[in-house]
Amino acid sequence: MAGKRTFFGTDGIRGTANMAPMTVDIAQTLGQAAGLYFCRQSETGRQHRHTIIVGKDTRLSGYMIECALVSGFLSAGVDVVLLGPLPTPAVAFLTRSLRADLGVMISASHNPFTDNGIKLFGPDGFKLSDAVEAEIEALMAEDLSGQLASPAAIGRASRLNDAAGRYIESVKSSFPRGLRLDGLKIVLDCAHGSAYRVAPVALWELGAEVITLGASPDGLNINDGVGSTHPEALCAAVREHKADCGIALDGDADRVLIVNERGEIVDGDQILALIATLWQRLGCLKGTEIVATVMSNMGLEAYLATQGLSLYRTAVGDRYVVERMRQTGGNLGGEQSGHMVLSDYATTGDGLLAALQVLAALVETGKKASELCQLFTPYPQRLQNVPYQEVNPMTHPDLKEIVQWAEEQLAGKGRLLLRASGTEPLIRVMVEAQDKALVDMVVERVSAYIRTLTTA
């Protein structure tokens, strides 16, 4: 049985480039372990030529991590196909399309350029389960030298030159046949990330007038004041150019935020509500359950209820959203942060794909984005981070007292969410309710109580 995961977190392996776990040595060992894990014989018994595809975003450290991973894969006897800079969902799509054994995306998503990460996709295009990641980690701890390929069986590396074109055509195929974006002026912020070439082309080929921001990566500027985590420049550009809307992607383009014609931000919850409403009307929504995470606003839940739909909440992370969707057969889920999973078209969050659904609704209805993308009023929500030093307050036996008190205050009116950060020594205290004064009171009281636990 596989042990506990040490390197893998909620979305692959991530850390500061050139520091553990994002070092050349660890990346090479991961390549060897993952390569050996996915090597297998075909059902007919004939020798199967194992292939792994590798994509990346625009970070400077991507070259280093890519070379280390590839050397590990090749030494395990696996062929490697290099894709170059492409969105994470493109790697997931091409893993299935090319019948590869494994897909790898080198990216730290919305983090600054100093970080990098490694995400793995199985042959089905879905992110690996926790159990499989644990098995790979167990292999990494072994001496693999005796299992590596003989000199004649070392893998070969090649490059797929039309990878971008294949992804663009795949994304465009999700756009309703017969519709075009002619007459729409769109400001597109690519975060100086992996979609800087494919996203503008896809929108232009569908007929839109595209004004691009964040489309000049230099290895150091990914997510720097641009993209879905920094939409201020996009909001200003939409107003300046009198655009119909703005689209903000993140560094690896698996999440999206929309900006309406007034320069106002539309988050993932509103996008979920819009697509759910659109698909329900068109008869293409599977089931009545929309999947989101514990961070999604209660206003979304209340709105969906008026449409005869329910909201199911998972842990934070689009992989958990996908897991629930696969269990129930649903085809729509996402996160407030902008990960949108449209499983009829993709196996993971795809920012460009979700944006096209919003644009299709704009074209079909003729409505302005400010009218179309504001289907509910969010409940007041407040998130406060409480730092700690040694002992995680989430494990303290007295924590249940303040949780019980908060739940009594919020009963039938709101909710409390406590969770530990996966990357920093912080407890995240989130409270939402229809009454903002109640939200502030509960947040302050709970945060103060947690601080006493950290100093006890």
The one-digit pLDDT tens for each residue of the chain (456 residues) are 445 668 988 788 999 999 999 999 999 999 999 999 988 533 444 567 899 999 999 999 999 999 999 999 999 999 999 999 999 999 999 999 999 999 999 999 999 999 999 999 999 999 998 889 999 999 999 999 999 999 999 999 999 999 999 999 999 999 999 999 999 999 999 999 999 999 999 999 999 999 999 999 999 999 999 999 999 999 999 999 999 999 999 999 999 999 999 999 999 999 999 999 999 999 999 999 999 999 999 999 999 999 999 999 999 888 899 999 999 999 999 999 999 999 999 999 999 999 999 999 999 999 999 999 999 999 999 999 999 987 889 999 999 999 999 999 999 899 999 988 866 788 999 999 999 999 999 999 999 999 998 765
Distance between CA atoms of 456 and 450, rounded to whole angstroms? 10
Catalytic residues: 109
* Residue 345 phi, psi dihedral angles, 5° rounding: -120, -20
* Residue 122 near residue 92 (C-beta atoms within 8 A): no
150: left (phi over 0), alpha (psi -120 to 50) or beta: beta
Write the DSSP string, 69-89: HHHHHHHTT-EEEEEEE--HH
CA distance 249 to 247: 7
Answer whether 179's CB lies under 8 Å from 364's CB. yes
Nearest residue to 70 via CA among 60, 80, 84, 62: 80
pTM of structure:
0.91
Judge whether 307 and 375 are in contact, CB under 8 Å.
no
Please check whether residue 252 is in contact with residue 349, taking contact to mean a CB–CB distance below 8 angstroms.
Answer: no
Residue 349's alpha-carbon distances to 118, 125, 250, 280, in angstroms, are 16, 12, 11, 20
CA 216-110-204 angle, 5° bins: 45
C-alpha triplet 116, 119, 122: angle, nearest 5°: 165
Contacts of 455 (CB under 8 A, 6+ apart): none
Burial class of residue 5 (count of CB atoms within 10 Å of its CB; 0-12, 13-18, 19+) = middle
Tell which residue, 94, 54, 71, has the closest CA to residue 156: 71
Q: In this structure, what token pair is assigned to residue 277? A: 């409403």
Angle between helices 351-365 and 198-205 (to 10 degrees): 20
Which residues have a Cβ under 8 Å from the Cβ of 274 and sit 6 or more positions away? 357, 358, 361, 372, 373, 375
